[in-house]
Amino acid sequence: MFVLKHLLHFGNVKDHLMILFGIFAAAVYAIGHLLFVRLFGELVSLFVSRVSTVQCFDYDPVKQTSNNTLDKETFHKNVSAKVTQLTVISLVQIVTSYLKYVSCDLSAARLANHMRARLLQATFAINISYFDTTDISINNLFENIATVQSGIGWTSSVTLSAIIFVIGSLILALFTDWKLTLIVIIGEPLS
């Protein structure tokens, strides 16, 4: 936490707002992904229930026809609604993914530039004889800033999205079927 606070010290209000926006976009992306998985499961469940209903109950062997036109209409209506919802969620995820990438990467680049400027100012403020007696490489310091930039850029937003998605998936699984979830949690480390 101290390191994060120290890193954010190099930025200004605009950088902090961009970071907060990136965190918000990462959270929206993860929640959208959870909704997508849930709706996709419901869509698959619709198809499975439709296939089992048609195969088990609706077939008349004498007429060799299916006699559930009302069920077909309801099925098509439900599938169409789920597909529309999946499409909307996908479009929102595309937009939020782009926004989280741009805001996190741009704020990381701005923070790194502020760090480079301060490092250069600090380097110029040091007496030249210091570099004769000390074995220090300015290039290594600037490379370290590039490493910090890559660490706080879009990879941090992807990591945050993944953490939110894993925790949300666990909560969603526990609410959906807690017994099966506990069995999977116990058996998963073995696999």
Domain boundaries, the chain: 1-188
Asked if residue 10 has pLDDT above 60, the reply is: yes
Q: Across residues 76-81, what is the average pLDDT?
A: 91
Contacts of 115 (CB under 8 A, 6+ apart): 10, 145, 148
- Tell me the residue type at 1: M
**pLDDT for residue 143:** 80
Contact criterion met (CB below 8 Å) for 138 and 105: no
Average pLDDT of span 79-91: 94
Closest CA to 29 of 99, 86, 108, 85: 99
Q: How far is CA 32 from CA 107, 146, 164, 169, in A?
A: 23, 32, 11, 12
Q: What is the mean pLDDT of residues 21-42?
A: 92
Would you place residue 111 in the very low, low, confident or very high pLDDT band (cuts 50, 70, 90)? Answer: confident
Residue 130 has pLDDT above 80, yes or no: no
Mean pLDDT taken over the chain: 82
Q: Does the structural domain 1-188 have CATH classification 1.20.1560.10? A: yes
pLDDT at 68 over 60: no
pTM for the structure as a whole: 0.74
pLDDT of residue 115: 84
